[in-house]
Amino acid sequence: MFKLCPCGSLKEFSVCCHSLISGQTIATTALELMKSRYCAYVSHDVEYLVATWHPDVRSPDLAESIAEIEHDN
Ligand SMILES: [Zn+2]
């Protein structure tokens, strides 16, 4: 099934940000990274959002905080 990538590239998701989110490739530019993080946000991929947030600046209970927000909505 053809599904446009939520990042706005007008490419199919499977050939756009999916390879980054699934860990098959690594973002080479900040723009790619932020687009893939947006896609993860849209699809509620908490694991990817946490994994791509530098540990020095992220809250230690980030995953739980996101889960709580998800639960409330
Ligand atoms: Zn994309």
Q: 35-69: per-residue pLDDT in tens?
A: 999 999 999 899 999 999 988 988 888 888 878 88
Considering the domain boundaries, does residue 32 fall inside one? yes
CA of 8 to the centre of ligand 1 (A): 7
Task: Tell me the pTM.
Answer: 0.80
Range of the domain at 21: 13-72
The tens digit of pLDDT for each residue in 6-30 reads 999 999 999 999 999 999 999 999 9
| 43: CB partners within 8 A, 6+ apart | 6, 21
Considering the domain boundaries, does residue 68 fall inside one? yes
Considering the domain boundaries, does residue 8 fall inside one? no
CA of 64 to the centre of ligand 1 (A): 26
Considering the domain boundaries, does residue 50 fall inside one? yes
Number of domains in the chain: 1
pLDDT at 59: 84
Considering the domain boundaries, does residue 57 fall inside one? yes
Residue 53 burial (CB count, 10 A):
14
Taking a C-beta distance cutoff of 8 angstroms, is the pair 7, 37 a contact?
no
